[in-house]
Amino acid sequence: MSEESDLSTVLAVLDDEYAREILTHTSVEPMSASTLSERCDASLPTIYRRLDRLEECRLVTEETELAPDGNHYSVYSANLERLELTLEDGAFDLELSYREEDVADRFTRMWEGIR
């Protein structure tokens, strides 16, 4: 993809109300699609479509968690830390900063999911 289509794609995704709600909710804590469906007052297919688009742009990440009954499910976390759009010399520039998760935090969360 070219830089211009990346800019267009990211801005199109962020133009969507549900996508923005998903980002705001998952920036606080990881959430399952069903929890997001309730919080955003949207159907599961709508949430999954938005999650797919957000993942394509690396704005959310998906991880698998283990439920107490032994089943597993996906949770989503906002991966976007900062977005900066500038206009200089007749061209737009989009700079995205992504969250850096500490390896120890990731291991702890994974370990807690196993127990």
CATH of the domain at 11: 1.10.10.10
Q: Provide the residue range defining the domain that includes 52.
A: 5-111
Higher pLDDT, 62 or 104: 62
Q: What does the pLDDT look like over 19-57, one tens digit per residue?
A: 999 999 999 999 999 999 999 999 999 999 999 999 999
User: Closest Cα to residue 25, out of 12, 41, 9, 10?
Assistant: 41
Q: Has residue 8 got a pLDDT over 60?
A: yes
Q: What is the pLDDT, as a whole number, of residue 100?
A: 78
Higher pLDDT, 97 or 32: 32
Counting the structural domains of the chain, the total is 1
How long, in residues, is the chain? 115
Model's pTM, two decimal places? Answer: 0.79
Identify which has the larger pLDDT, 79 or 3: 79
